[in-house]
A = this chain, B = another copy of it.
């Protein structure tokens, strides 16, 4: 898989850095959130451009986010959730109960 552009490679490098366990977790979280949003978006039959408009972003930002290109910020997640008509949940859970 040679050609995926820069951020995919950057993310992998980030995950490979020594002592970057939490950064790794953040990258994985970003990846999974991207997948979740993509799924919600496609379930509604929306294009990236439509979701972008609904959440006050541009199509490129949506694409970047869905690809896990960056670790998103909470304001962005809130806006996406609002556009997708879901609610964003951020919380700390006991270690055992993996939400």
Contacts and interface: CB of A to CB of B under 8 A. Distances in A.
Contacts of A95: 85-87
Interface string A56-99: 10000000000000011111011101101111111111110111
A51 interface: no
Interface in A15-44: 21-23, 25-26, 29-30, 33, 36-37, 40
Contacts of A89: 89-93, 99
Nearest to A24: B78
Given A22-B75, A71-B73, A86-B94, 11 more contacts: A26-B74, A29-B90, A74-B74, A81-B92, A86-B93, A86-B95, A88-B90, A89-B90, A89-B91, A89-B92, A90-B90
